[in-house]
Amino acid sequence: MNFLSQINRWFNPWRRRILLMVGKAIITAVKDSDKLQVVQVSLMKDELKGDVERIQEFGFTSNPPVNSEAVAVCIGGDRSNMIIIGTDSSEHRLKSLAAGESALYNSVGSYMKARSNKKMHIKSGVYDCDTDVIINAILNHTHLGNNGVATSNPQASPVPTLPADFQQGET
């Protein structure tokens, strides 16, 4: 056996582990009732892994729909020690955001978009409007209709005053 084949034979298990450390997965099921959310994922051909912990950002949680894409990390290249560190749903993701914009969205079309014009746009089954419309409605005690347009002024009370340490127009 020549020297090169000996080196390859020695490195092949390590190379295989390195190649299997990070990969793309498809979520096939979600269990969201324990301390950590666990998912079942489909990886390579005919490879299905269950009870894989899904690590989420503190302060934010979601339940990705079936067929969402995921990033699987195998600790030390060990396929039995896998975690999911990111998910996306190309079917539901908001598209065509301007540079610097971000959004929080769900699978039924509701979203809150931080727009590049320093306004928030909120769309749900009830409202579709910019936040300055909502804030003005709250300050004026106005009811918003289904499209975010003021429909009535049920309480003719004065506009609430802001605390002294709050400067109007600050972000």
Digit-by-digit pLDDT tens for the chain (171 residues) are 688 888 888 888 888 888 889 999 999 999 999 999 999 999 988 899 999 999 999 999 999 999 999 999 999 888 899 999 999 999 999 999 999 999 999 999 999 999 888 888 888 877 777 766 666 655 565 555 555 555 554 454 444 444 554 444 444
All domains of the chain in start order, with CATH = 3-88 (2.40.50), 94-171 (no CATH)
Interatomic CA distance for residues 111 and 9, integer angstroms? 53
Task: State both tokens at 156.
Answer: 């003719």
Q: Tell me, what's the pLDDT at 147?
A: 52
**Contact criterion met (CB below 8 Å) for 28 and 41:** yes
- In terms of pTM, does the model score above 0.85? no
Q: Tell me, what's the pLDDT at 124?
A: 84
Q: Tell me, what's the pLDDT at 14?
A: 86
- One-letter amino acid at 103 equals A
Q: Tell me, what's the pLDDT at 74?
A: 95
Q: Tell me, what's the pLDDT at 126?
A: 75
**Contact criterion met (CB below 8 Å) for 166 and 155:** no
Task: State both tokens at 151.
Answer: 């429909």
